[in-house]
Structures are given as C-alpha cells and as structure tokens.
C-alpha cells in the first residue's frame, strides 16, 4: 500500500499565504503601527518618557512581580498537574474544571474579588494584616493577582506531557534500584522540563501585560505599586498617544527578549534531555 | 436547515426594517442621537432622554427622537469620539477633555464653551468630603485632611477627570489660606497626598474602596456622588462634610459639529442641549444631585445643596488647559509630589 503522502490542506503555498495574511493583519500591522507612532517622538522626548524614575520603578515592579508569579505557578502548577494525572480521587473533574476558570473570568472581576478578599476587612486580609502582612494595595497583592490569572498555563501545558510518560519507564528505573527521588529528578523532570518552561513563558507573558485585575488590588501608588500598563493609561489620559506607545514599545521589546531567551532555553532542554538514542 | 432558519428570522427582520423606515406621523424620519457622557451621569440622562423625547414630540409635530447613551471614564470617552465614535453630543466631566475634541480631532470649534450659557455647563457640582457616621476623626475642613493619622481616599488625578477636580479644590483652598503663596499650596497638597493610601484609577473605584472595603477616614468626592452614596446607599453609615470653600465643578456639554453636520442632526442635538437649561431639565439635574443653574429651581432644592463658598477654575487656575499643563501633565506638580528629586 505504498501511496504518496498527500497533504491534508489544499496546497502548501495557499496555506502559508493565508497564515501570513492572518498574522500580518492581526499581529504585524497593529504592532508596526505602534512602532511608527513612537517614531513621531524626538529621541530626547522618547528617552525622557521611557527612562523617567517613575517608568523605571514601574518596569521593575511589572517584570519583577510577573517573574515571581510565573515561578509560583511553575511550582504549584506542576503539583496540580501531577495530582490530576497521577491520582484518582473524588471531585477530580471539579478540580480539573476549576483550573480553567481564571481564563474565563474578566480580569477586572478577578481584581475586585481578590481585593475584597485581601483588604484589611476581607476574609483573608483580616488575618494576614493581624499577622503584619499587607497584601491588598501592596506589591504582594500584585503578585497574587498575577498568579491567579497565570494559573492555568503551567497546568495545561505540563498535564498532557505527564500523561504521556509511560509507567514502565518508572518501573524500569525502580527495578534498577532508583529511589523515587532519583526517578523524579533523572527521568520525569527532564522530560517535562520543556513543557514546564513553555508554561512558565506563557504565564509570564500573560502577567506582563495584565491591567484589569492589578489596578484594583495594587493601590496604584506612584514609585511603589504602579505598573507599566497603568502608566500607559496615564499617558493616554493626557492625550499623549506617542508617549503611551513609547512605553508600550519598551514593554514589548523587553518581553520579546525575555520570551526569546526562555524559548532558547526550552529548545536547549529539549535537545539535552529528550533526544537520547537507544 | 439554513432556509428554515431564514424563514424564522425573516418576519422579525422585515418588521425591524419597516420600523426603521416607517415615517413618523409628520412624515419625518425618527432622529437618533448619541450622547457620549462620563460614568455617574447614567441615571440622570436615562431620565432626561425620556423627558426630552416627549418634549421633542410635542414641539415638533409628533416627530420621534431617541437618544442613545454611552458612559465611561471622561478621558476615555473623549478619546473614543476623537477616534471616530459617532457622538452627536458630548457631556463630559471637564472642559479639558472637550478641548481635546478640537485640538486632537478638529471636531468642534475652539470657542465651543461660549456657545451655551454658563460656560456650557447646565448643571454644576462641587467637591465635598464623605466621612463615616459620627465623624470619628472630627473632619471639618481641608486642614483636617493633612493631619497625621488621617487616611484620605481619592482617585488618581492622572487617570481620573473627577480626581483632578478634587486636587484643584484642595489647591484652591490652600492657595487662598496662604494668601496666594503657590509654594505653600504645593506643600499642602503634597501633605494631603501623603495621607492617601490608595489611588484608584477612577472615582467609582475610590467610592468602593471607602464604602465597601472600609478603607480610609475620609473620601473626597463630587457632591452628586456623595449624595448618591449617603442618600441611597448608606444613610446610617456615612455623613457628608462640606468644607469652608471648594471648587465649582462645571461638567460641560457640547454638540460635536463635524458629526451632526454629516448626519444632519444639528437642530435636534442643539434642542437637546438647550432643553438641559429648561425648568424640566434643571429639575432632573437637581433630582440626580447636580446643582441646577436656574435660580428658581435651585431655590426649590436649597435644602438639598448646602451653600458653600465656591471658586472657579478660571479664577484660580486660568482655565483647564493651564491647570492641566501646570499640574497634571508629565513633570507637572502632581508628578513632582511623587517623583524623587533629580540627583
């Protein structure tokens, strides 16, 4: 039954063309518009906008909180995925469905809800403040909001990979005398690392651009809890379109650099751990 | 499948089509206006639109008119109109946002504010304080807001038009107290903002922070928002404190010339705005906690709006453009309050 491999989609040329058009119209064109708008600024004005002390404080907070939140999701998302794949327990499908909820919820609603929980009068907040931990209206609150909205990414990228690992690999490791810890660190972790990294990347990217939930919980104090997206809105409120896009361009460039670096890391991990002949 | 769905939809479609094209009793097509406004005016204009439609029908041989409304942050709404939202009328929180329809969109003439009486503001408001019942921190005037240990809730003037009125009211008061010493006024406002633990991005957010989250001792708010909060939400929870002096907040209205001329709705849009100045319009404004301009209606609602010494933005700040530039633009006074001094 030797048949020539047939393509499912009608023609490579046409599909590639459509893909380019689609991405071009939806991604490339709006983004180049963004860059073009910033070119209306003089270099001095651009620099003054993007390197002001307030902008620097905001970058630090936005990227810092995003990294912390994505790391938290990497650790606990992996745990959730593990539990969902490896155990059977009552209410499992409920837990599975809960994971996706942050995807569906409008982020402003999430922000309002989280704020009411963590404010000094809220269910969690009253105990945390009594213990001297201020969550709402502080940078911790921003991390909480960003962790919430990034939660599904790690779970949903790691889950299918965990499912695919054959039990006999672990059994083989066990018969060869490996401890459970060795089995995890030498067999399981390396094979899920690329997926974990891509989940981390997605959660990070999602967090960097987040606005709706953070403005409610952060308190928006300049130099302390002000995120870059809020600064961008601030520029727009004074009709400084070019200034707003200048900040957006910086955000995009840094994000792109971060994502690229993690992608390279992910490919390295894939080569290092997965391709092992015989 | 498809055809049966179409058959089901068809009568409805035809009905709605004929509804659109059916001539009014006088043979005129029904006019539709879009009023682009800011957040807290939703209920006011819902009422006003119904009343205006009746008035228009009565004065225009039964011609039908329907007014749609759009609400959001004042600056956001202005940007939407600049970017092409087909507004016939804008009713925004501050003249600066309307100015930008001229500066950035060339949609209205520069002297738009002189086209209607009272700076094109048919109703006004002012800035007052809301405190918790019993006024535990004994807040009476602006000076009490800079005391150590008093937490003040106000939105961020960089993102909220309403908050800019709050800020300017504090500044104007301090300036008068200090005998026009700008440095003293800046010191006062900086001290006030030191007492602000949270800068919400909009006025409703601040109200939530104060009323629902229980944060802060005093909320600086528009009088209409404060009355809404105390009259309708928590009469037993909050009190309004009127300071010794405050700013006259003038939310302006105008037609959007470029849009009404293209759509042929100028006459209807002008009638709409003029009706805001009528007794009926003024009554509605007062009912929705805005101070009416008409002395007759104002006298009727005198108990609702305590008298307070008011200064205008033109007197103290030389108008919105100048106030915006000096205080709220980048490297303006508000930024220097929060940005550490350059090395």
CA atoms within 13 A on the CB side of B159: 25
A40 at the B interface (CB within 8 A)? no
CA of A237 vs chain B CAs: smallest distance (Å):
6
Domain assignment of residue A108, given as a range = 40-274
Residue A274's pLDDT is 59
**Domain assignment of residue A269, yes or no:** yes
- Does A210 reside within a domain? yes
Contact B198/A240, CB-based, under 8 Å?
no
Q: What is the DSSP letter of B112?
A: G
Please tell me the pTM assigned to this model: 0.87
Mark yes or no for CB contact B339/A53 under 8 Å: yes
Selected residue of A231, A239, A240 to mutate for chain B interface (largest B Cβ count, 10 A) = A239
CA distance B128 to chain A (A): 22
For residue A118, give the chain B residue with the closest CA: B213
Cite the DSSP H helix spans in chain B. Answer: 2-21, 42-59, 74-82, 95-103, 117-120, 161-177, 182-194, 203-211, 223-227, 257-263, 266-276, 279-287, 295-300, 313-317, 320-323, 333-338
A17 inside domain: no
Average pLDDT estimate for B58-73: 94
CB contact under 8 A, A233 and B201: yes
Does B328 contact A223 at a Cβ distance shorter than 8 Å?
Answer: no
Question: Which chain B residues contact residue A122 at CB under 8 A?
Answer: 213
Q: Is residue A6 domain-resident?
A: no
Residue B191: partners with Cβ closer than 8 Å, 6 or more residues away: B146
Work out how many domains chain A is built from and give that number: 1
Q: Kindly provide the ipTM of the predicted complex, given to two decimals.
A: 0.84
Nearest neighbour of A53 by CB, restricted to B75, B198, B340? B340
Q: Is the predicted pLDDT of residue B17 greater than 90, yes or no?
A: no
Taking residues B37-64, report their average pLDDT.
95
Domain presence at residue A2: no
**pLDDT of B9 over the 60 cut:** no
Q: B90 Cβ partners below 8 Å, 6+ apart?
A: B35, B36, B37, B77, B78, B81, B98, B101, B253, B254, B256
pLDDT at residue B339, rounded to an integer: 79
| Number of cross-chain residue pairs from A and B with Cβ atoms under 8 Å apart | 80
pLDDT at residue A168, rounded to an integer = 85
Asked if A152 has any chain B CB less than 8 Å from its own CB, the reply is no
Query: Does any domain span residue A22?
Result: no
pLDDT digits (tens, 9 = 90+) for A226-263: 999 999 999 999 999 999 999 999 999 999 998 899 88
- Chain B residues within 8 Å of chain A (Cβ atoms): 73, 75-76, 79, 100, 103-104, 156, 158-160, 197-201, 205, 208, 212-215, 324, 328-330, 335, 338-340
Supply the CATH number for residue A213's domain: 1.10.3720.10
Which residues in chain A come in under a pLDDT of 70? 1-10, 273-278
Q: Is residue A31 part of a domain?
A: no
Pairwise CA distance, residues A248 & A232, whole Å: 7
Could you tell me if residue A242 is inside a domain?
Answer: yes
pLDDT at B6 over 90: no
Exposed / middle / buried, residue B86 (Cβ in 10 Å: 0-12, 13-18, 19+): middle
Residues of chain A positioned with their CB less than 8 A from the CB of B201: 215, 220, 230, 233
Rounded mean pLDDT, B134-158: 96
């Amino acid at each position: 039954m030797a048949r020539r491999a047939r393509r499912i989609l009608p023609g490579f040329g046409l599909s590639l063309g459509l893909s380019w058009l689609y991405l071009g119209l939806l991604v490339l064109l709006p983004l180049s518009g963004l860059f073009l708008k910033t070119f209306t600024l003089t270099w001095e004005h651009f620099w003054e906008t993007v390197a002001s002390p307030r902008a620097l404080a905001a970058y630090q907070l936005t990227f810092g909180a995003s990294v912390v939140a994505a790391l938290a999701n990497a650790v606990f998302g992996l745990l959730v995925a593990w539990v969902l794949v490896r155990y059977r327990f009552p209410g499992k499908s409920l837990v599975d469905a809960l994971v996706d909820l942050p995807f569906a919820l409008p982020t402003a609603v999430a922000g309002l809800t989280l704020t009411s929980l963590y404010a000094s009068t809220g269910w969690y907040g009253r105990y945390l403040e009594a213990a001297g931990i201020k969550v709402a209206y502080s940078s911790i609150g921003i991390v909480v909001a960003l962790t919430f909205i990034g939660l599904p990414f790690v779970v949903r990228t790691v889950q299918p990979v965990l499912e695919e690992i054959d039990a006999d690999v672990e059994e083989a490791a066990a018969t060869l005398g490996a401890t459970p810890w060795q089995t995890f660190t030498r067999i399981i972790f390396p094979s899920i690392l690329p997926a974990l990294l891509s989940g981390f990347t997605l959660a990070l990217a999602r967090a960097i651009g987040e606005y709706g939930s953070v403005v409610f919980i952060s308190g928006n104090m300049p130099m302390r809890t002000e995120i870059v997206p809020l600064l961008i809105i601030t520029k727009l409120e004074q009709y400084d379109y070019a200034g707003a896009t200048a900040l957006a361009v910086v955000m995009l460039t840094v994000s792109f650099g971060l994502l690229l670096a993690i992608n390279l890391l992910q490919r390295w991990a894939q080569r290092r751990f997965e391709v092992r002949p015989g | 499948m498809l055809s049966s769905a179409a058959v089901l939809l068809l009568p409805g479609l035809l009905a709605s089509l004929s509804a659109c094209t059916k001539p009014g009793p006088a043979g005129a097509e029904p006019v539709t206006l879009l009023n682009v406004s800011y957040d807290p005016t939703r209920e006011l204009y819902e009422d006003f639109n119904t009343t205006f439609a009746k008035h228009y029908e009565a004065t225009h041989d039964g011609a039908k008119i329907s007014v749609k409304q759009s609400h959001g942050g004042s600056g956001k709404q202005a940007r939407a109109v600049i970017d092409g939202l087909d507004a016939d009328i804008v009713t925004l929180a501050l003249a600066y946002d309307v100015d930008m329809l001229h500066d950035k969109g060339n949609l209205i003439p520069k002297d738009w504010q002189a086209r209607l009486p009272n700076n094109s503001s048919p109703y006004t408001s002012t800035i007052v304080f809301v405190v918790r019942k019993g006024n535990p921190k004994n807040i009476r005037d602006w000076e009490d807001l800079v005391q150590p240990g008093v937490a003040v809730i106000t939105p961020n003037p960089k993102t909220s038009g309403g908050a800019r009125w709050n800020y300017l009211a504090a500044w104007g008061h301090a300036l008068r107290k200090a005998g026009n010493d700008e440095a003293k006024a800046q010191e006062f406002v900086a001290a006030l903002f030191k007492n602000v633990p949270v800068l919400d991005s909009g006025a409703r957010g601040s109200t939530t922070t104060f009323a629902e989250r229980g944060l802060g001792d005093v909320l600086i708010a528009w009088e209409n928002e404060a009355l809404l909060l105390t009259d309708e939400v928590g009469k037993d929870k909050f009190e309004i404190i009127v300071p010794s002096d405050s700013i006259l907040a003038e939310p302006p209205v105008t037609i959007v010339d470029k849009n009404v001329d293209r759509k042929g709705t100028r006459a209807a849009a002008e009638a709409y705005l003029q009706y805001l100045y009528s007794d009926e319009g003024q009554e509605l404004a007062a009912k929705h906690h805005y101070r009416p301009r008409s002395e007759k209606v104002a006298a009727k609602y005198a108990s609702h709006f305590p008298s307070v010494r008011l200064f205008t933005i033109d007197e103290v700040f030389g108008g919105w453009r100048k106030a915006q530039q000096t205080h709220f633009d980048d490297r303006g006074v508000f930024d220097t309050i929060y940005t550490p001094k350059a090395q």
